[in-house]
Amino acid sequence: MVSTQVELSGIRLDNPVIPSSGTFGYGYEFAELYDINCLGTLSFKGTTVEPRFGNPTPRIADAPAGMLNAVGLQNPGVERVIAEELPRLRSVFHKPIMANVGGFSVEDYARTCALLDKEEQIGWLEVNISCPNVHGGGMSFGTSPEMAAEVTRAVKSVTTKPVYMKLSPNVTDIAAIARACEGAGADGISLINTLLAMRLNLNTRRPVLANQTGGLSGPAIFPVAVRMVYQVYEAVGIPIIGMGGVSSAEDVIELMLAGATAVQVGAANLVNPFACRDIIAALPRVMEQYGIQDLNEIIGGAHHG
Amino acid sequence: MKQGLYTLCQRRALARGVWELRLSGDTASITAPGQFVNIQLDGCFLRRPISVCHWDKDSLTLVFKVVGKGTAALAELREGQTLDLLCGLGNGFDLSRCGQRPLLVGGGLGVAPLYGLAKALLAEGKKPAAVLGFNSKDDIFYEEEFRALGVDTVITTVDGSAGVKGFVTDALPEQYDVFCACGPLPMMKAVCAAAPTPGFVSLEERMGCGFGACMGCSCETKAGSKRICRDGPVFAKEELLW
């Protein structure tokens, strides 16, 4: 019997597979299809202080081996998330949940995190300083080490739960930003968010997305994720949640070898709603195929020897 | 919603760039006309949402126009090939709210789901009529199929090459209880403005997942933001902000 258990900041996960924020809603749509308690945990839809409709449509575009989205952090706001979404989610998912938080100011992040931190079922806070689809916030915090550190400090000062900072790949030195977060007290790093991208419509000769730009996700970005997880693993000592185009158990193992303790699955859920369940089911067989008894033994394995 | 494999058992060209595919497989997840399927296609990352034209116990029929890479790939499929579908997506039309004499107003490809709606309404003993608008006579499809059901059907063409010259709004009848419209957004807005009755429209948007997870196809309504794929695609006229 192989062991798929991993641990994120003292909380045990049955397996390292986590649907990533924005691709899994609050879990209910998937709970209609399969028992989502097979997941390691789930990271719910990015939550902000105020309700947000998000960007105008079209918000979605296809791409070779991936997709662009410019949803723009649509969510009902932290108060309704706590009052309505979390109780519903609790009815279908019984493990500690990862709360994903977006913001437009340092105070926004701190306020939303402080409120979610009080919720019993929330195990971790994942702070998104990397959304490429909102203006005057999001990614602007994740592209400077100083700003990233400031958000980290502000959130850590008002919360008790482990804080994972979710980083943008749209930077020249990902390691510097990860180090700044670690220095400011982050408990872990999540990466990568989507890559800033654009598609044009040849008929209209205009961008496909109403927001003009969007975030590229899907298998196309997987090698970028491997590279950045690898670089961040060298730079910090805190755990890493790796993501970006993961769509198979092999991808999970590859990202763990690069340095991830757990792995999120994003765009794959939209194409195959059973993607996470299928990856979890395949994991023991693929581990055996590569002679892995315990997933913990391979975390960062690519860096040794 | 159910995921499954379907076999293409029949394909035919209906009009200029317009194809009809009949797929065999489990249709138990289709509960109302106006629902759609999301199709996985080689060479496309995202699935392609296509409305169900009509269905029976073990087959469903799709009608689509080649407008891009996904629909071009669909048109290349051959009989006997299998397709991975998410089936029975969206809310569809609520027959109980369509009155006794509903008017079906279709524009272009929007005609397709209205055919299944007409069949379902007739099965409930209702008396639907139809106004089907196209750009030109080469674009017309399903005129005979609607008439064969016994539905009083008026055709309009923008260029006047067949039927009434003009838009569907130039041919709306005097008497009907409720309208059900599917077609280009300007057409549906014009129908909502012209029709004195309650009505329903089926909206379209570029979708990510098609089952309510990604918030890719949201629209704002009087009752807050709704997901076209999950809360729609069919919305009551009075819910809409236009």
Query: In chain B, what residues touch A270 (CB-CB under 8 Å)?
Result: 46, 208-209, 213-214
Query: In chain A, what residues touch B207 (CB-CB under 8 Å)?
Result: 60
Give the model's pLDDT for residue A134. Answer: 74
Q: How far apart are CA B93 and CA B73, in angstroms?
A: 29
Q: Is the pLDDT of residue A137 over 80?
A: no
Given pLDDT bands bounded at 50, 70 and 90, which one contains residue A1?
confident
Beta strands in B113-238 (DSSP E): 129-134, 152-157, 164-165, 178-182, 199-202, 218-221, 224-227, 234-236
**Confidence check on the interface: ipTM exceeds 0.90, yes or no:** yes
DSSP character at residue A32: T
pLDDT digits over B125-158, tens only? 999 999 999 999 999 999 999 999 999 999 999 9
Given pLDDT bands bounded at 50, 70 and 90, which one contains residue B31?
very high
Query: What value does the mean pLDDT of chain A take?
Result: 96
pLDDT digits over A144-162, tens only? 999 999 999 999 999 999 9
Cβ distance B207 to A60 less than 8 Å, yes or no, reads: yes
Structure tokens given for B107? 């524009």
Please give the CATH topology (third level) of the domain spanning A6-303.
TIM Barrel (3.20.20)
Task: Please tell me which residue in A38, A113, A131, A276 is annotated as part of the active site.
Answer: A131
Smallest CA-to-CA distance from B48 within B31, B25, B13, B73 is with: B73
For A16, A87, A239, A266, B178, the CA distances from A90, given in Å and listed in that order, are: 20, 5, 26, 21, 41
Task: Specify whether A38 is catalytic.
Answer: no
3-state secondary structure of A73: coil
pLDDT digits over B64-107, tens only? 999 999 999 999 999 999 999 999 999 999 999 999 999 999 99
Beta strands in chain A (DSSP E): 6-8, 11-13, 17-19, 60-63, 66-69, 97-101, 122-128, 163-166, 188-191, 195-197, 200-201, 206-207, 214-217, 240-243, 262-265
Q: How far apart are CA B66 and CA B13, in angstroms?
A: 11
Structure tokens given for A31? 């709970």
The share of chain B scoring above pLDDT 90, in percent, equals 100
Q: How far apart are CA B154 and CA A161, in angstroms?
A: 65
Q: Which of residues 258-287 of A touch B (CB under 8 A)?
A: 267, 269-274
Q: Which of residues 17-56 of B touch A (CB under 8 A)?
A: 40, 44-47
Query: What value does the mean pLDDT of chain B take?
Result: 97
Give the model's pLDDT for residue A138. Answer: 66
Domains annotated on chain B, with CATH: 2-89 (2.40.30.10), 95-202 (3.40.50.80)
Chain B nearest-CA residue for A202? B68
Smallest CA-to-CA distance from A21 within A83, A96, A98 is with: A98
Give me the sign of the Cα torsion angle A15, A292, A9, A174: negative
3-state secondary structure of A51: coil
Q: Which residues pair with B84 in a beta bridge?
A: B5, B40
**Residue whose structure tokens are 């079906």:** B104
Q: Is the pLDDT of residue A136 over 70?
A: no
Residues in Cβ contact with B171 at an 8 Å cutoff, skipping those fewer than 6 apart: B131, B133, B154, B156, B163, B164
Smallest CA-to-CA distance from A275 within A6, A20, A11 is with: A20
The share of chain B scoring above pLDDT 70, in percent, equals 100
Q: Is the pLDDT of residue B26 over 80?
A: yes
pLDDT digits over A56-113, tens only? 999 999 999 999 999 999 999 999 999 999 999 999 999 999 999 999 999 999 999 9
A59: closest CA of chain B, how far (Å): 5
Q: Is the pLDDT of residue A133 over 80?
A: no
Query: In chain A, what residues touch B71 (CB-CB under 8 Å)?
Result: none
pLDDT digits over A244-263, tens only? 999 999 999 999 999 999 99
Q: Give the CA diameter of chain B.
A: 48
Q: Is the pLDDT of residue A139 over 90?
A: no
Question: CB-based burial of residue B239 (10 Å sphere; 0-12 exposed, 13-18 middle, 19+ buried)?
Answer: middle
Given pLDDT bands bounded at 50, 70 and 90, which one contains residue B242?
confident
Distance in Å from the first CA to the final CA of chain A: 27
Beta strands in A39-153 (DSSP E): 60-63, 66-69, 97-101, 122-128
Structure tokens given for A222? 């997987």
